Chain A
């Protein structure tokens, strides 16, 4: 065997967290006599619009996407994350994750450390939270600033102060004051509704799927967008990394969560990626679209850290990062993520890249620039190799074209992908997420639950 062969990394923290009870009788016994609480969405602190649902975090924690995190964080853990981006067990992690409730709900519940709380979702028992500590967020605005940073404290990559136009900042600013900290366990497995059900590959299942397909090396493509041909070329060409041969598999992992108006519907995103392989542009044997539940924080380098953790846990050997990774607005340097993965960002606690610090990550970054159409080469060309003037592709430009009812040329969007957009456009009466979609989505969520 060649010494250059790359092996699949262990999960972050050394083992997969799996906190899902599948035996209904055992689950019933576990919750007998316990107080219960109906999970509520986090509402925007000014507008009241849903900006987060903690159920998505509970799912991602209990199915191991966020390993080694096991629950809602204690105060000391949150403080350490804000200072050093590390958990109390030393492993790196970018964001505070908490189960927050109002003072009124806390009083009404009357629970404390040592109590088990049953968390209901859509009126059915869903998970339990074994409370170890109760603490308070005294100043959510300060928490939001500390979570993302400031131009003064993080001059390497933060360009503008975060504010209420940043959806991730708003999530932390909108948290309720009482945090119930402790481990979560899912006691009633939710069932994903179509089309999400066929894209659900939690880490154990994705690792088994990679084995089944003979994928030793797998590169992840992060998405929250319908793919255009520029994305497709990024996926295909980034996969030429690997070891002695290109990566065996391309994992597309779509972040499914609360939407912003103007985004594509999640249904179109996942089926759009599937259309790429159904159309043969990347053959299905090499391509697997999947989902993870998470309300995006849009933290660019910090978000990339979480993405690295999720995809390492899923079994990927490589992660592709492009320009403005998981970004919104101009808060961060366009290349902040690539700076983190090549040099580190000392002010965030990374004097070296996250792969080169103790208790760091093993997934390998594959930093990419851009693909766009070159009229001289008459093909999609890479910005770092093509010497001609190229026609830049942007998702926003494409959205405008779609909204005006103009089918994008095949060279920038595959007709199979466009058909998926139109399919869901007909279903929702709109090609993108509008207010109705956003509100309904947060009411219906992606899952249903059976009686326990």
Chain B
């Protein structure tokens, strides 16, 4: 039985939303402070459910569940803010909306807007 988690990346916009939720103290910094994130706990059973629901989902070498639809990741952040928690109940709440997420994922599997960065 491993320990699993999902990573919520925090840009400035998301930082503003978690202000005052008490989650600030759980922010982790990676790569010399260049990346801010929160880790949401995932039980073995929830991990299996995610892998079953989303065929692109993978568990990486750190035990992080990755490659779920972007819609899943957005809802994960919403639930973190709503529940002011990083416990398994967050993923449980996300999975309650699985049909909605799959519908959104269908569209995003055809198109994702690219970031506007300078090209060479």
Contact = CB atoms under 8 A, between A and B. Distances in A.
A429 B109 CA distance: 10
Interface SS of chain B: loop
A436 interface: yes
Contacts of A395: 60
Contacts of A411: 31-32, 34
A261 B56 contact: yes
Interface SS of chain A: loop
| Highest count of chain B CB atoms <10 Å: which of A405, A410, A418 | A405
B73 interface: yes
A425 B113 CA distance: 8
Give the interface size bracket for B toward A.
20 to 34
Nearest to B30: A391
Contacts of A419: 117-120
A154 interface: no
A434 B109 contact: yes
Contacts of A426: 114
A434 B66 contact: no
A159 B111 CA distance: 37
A425 B114 contact: yes
A434 B105 CA distance: 11
Given A262-B56, A323-B61, A373-B30, A400 B117 contact: no
B111 A429 contact: yes
A401 interface: yes
B31 A400 contact: no
Interface in B1-54: 7, 9, 11, 30-32, 34-35
A399 B66 contact: yes
A53 B115 CA distance: 34
Interface residues of A, number: 40
A262 B108 CA distance: 12
B115 A400 contact: no
A142 interface: no
Given A396-B58, A407-B117, A431 B112 contact: yes
A395 B30 CA distance: 16
A391 B58 CA distance: 19
Contacts of B56: 261-262
A224 to B, nearest CB: 14
Nearest to A421: B114
Contacts of B9: 400-401, 404, 406
A375 interface: yes
A397 B31 contact: no
B103 interface: no
Interface in B50-90: 55-56, 58, 60-62, 64, 66-68, 70, 73
A99 B12 CA distance: 56
A452 to B, nearest CB: 38
B96 interface: no
B110 interface: yes
Interface of B: 7, 9, 11, 30-32, 34-35, 55-56, 58, 60-62, 64, 66-68, 70, 73, 109-115, 117-120
18 contacts: A373-B31, A375-B30, A378-B32, A391-B30, A392-B61, A392-B62, A396-B58, A396-B64, A396-B67, A400-B9, A406-B9, A406-B11, A407-B117, A409-B32, A409-B34, A419-B119, A419-B120, A430-B112
Interface of A: 261-262, 323-324, 370, 373, 375, 378, 391-392, 394-397, 399-401, 403-412, 416, 418-419, 422-423, 425-426, 429-431, 434-436
Given A370-B61, A394-B66, A426-B114, 12 more contacts: A323-B61, A375-B30, A392-B62, A394-B60, A394-B62, A396-B67, A404-B73, A405-B113, A409-B31, A409-B32, A419-B117, A422-B115
Which 4 pairs of residues, A with B, have the shortest CB-CB distance?
A409-B34, A396-B66, A394-B60, A396-B60
